[in-house]
Amino acid sequence: MFYFVIDILGTIAFAISGVLVAMNKKLDLFGVFIIAFVTSVGGGTLRDVLIGNTPVTWMQESIYMLIIALTVVFAIIFSNHLHHLRRTLFLFDTIGIGLFTLLGIEKGLTADLSPIMCVALGTITACFGGVIRDILCNEIPIIFRRKEIYATACILGGSSYFLLILLPFDGAYAYVAAIMIIIVVRLMAVKFNITLPNIYGRQKA
């Protein structure tokens, strides 16, 4: 039940970020739904295909389609209020990658993958829905932008989970703590303008 709730929260967070991007691009209603859909389940779909979990999760559980559809309606109705919130897209995107990274790691553990592969799977789960969203909206994916600490936050948070579970407390606390580490790392990176090293010398990034 705990992991199901995390999955639903992540789906909602990413669906809202997808709606906001799609509306910024002035897409029609169908386009808004598609962008919200691929943002929510794109990473999880790739994850399931990689570990051989087919049909993929959203095909087995119709609740995901319902949740995404309701979230799209909610986000459209309250889009003016959402747009008035500072950095709303960034916030929902950050919450989404935190939730989905750990969900991907849990799927990797269930598939008996090594910790390194679990972290990679968690990062794919968290990031590739956004990659598909940005490509469809004709944007360079956030994960590939030097000024964004995105996948790096997922890797740090995912790695911290395997360190935290070595400590003598309940695994659920390690799970939540790792999610918070991902969120805080990305928030702090933006606040203090922390970026990955520049490989282009003095050229503009």
- Count CB atoms within 10 A of the CB of residue 66: 10
For residue 100, CA distances in Å to 119, 165, 199 come to 11, 18, 29
Q: Is 151 within a domain?
A: no
**Which tens digit of pLDDT belongs to each residue from 109-134?**
999 999 999 999 999 999 999 999 99
Whether 172 is in a domain gets the answer: no
165 belongs to a structural domain: no
Average pLDDT, the chain: 89
- Report pLDDT for 184: 95
Examine residue 68 and state whether it is found in any structural domain, yes or no: yes
List strand residue ranges (DSSP E) for 43-199, in order.
Answer: none
Structural domain contains residue 114 = yes
pTM of the model: 0.87
pLDDT per residue as tens digits for the range 152-163: 999 999 999 999
d(CA 32, CA 74): 12
pLDDT greater than 50 at residue 70: yes
Residue 204: its pLDDT value, please?
54
* Residue 106 counted as domain residue: yes
In the predicted model, is pLDDT for residue 86 greater than 50?
no
- Model confidence at 85, pLDDT cuts 50, 70, 90, reads low
pLDDT interval class at 84 (50, 70, 90): low
Measure Cα distances from 165 to 111, 125, 182 in Å: 18, 21, 16
Residue 91 falls within a domain, yes or no? yes
Within 10 angstroms of residue 18's Cβ, the number of other Cβ atoms is 34
Q: Average the pLDDT over 139-167 and give the result.
A: 89
Q: How many structural domains are present in the chain?
A: 1
Print the domain residue range for 52: 2-143
Residue 202 has pLDDT above 70, yes or no: no
* pLDDT greater than 70 at residue 12: yes
Is 96 inside any structural domain? yes
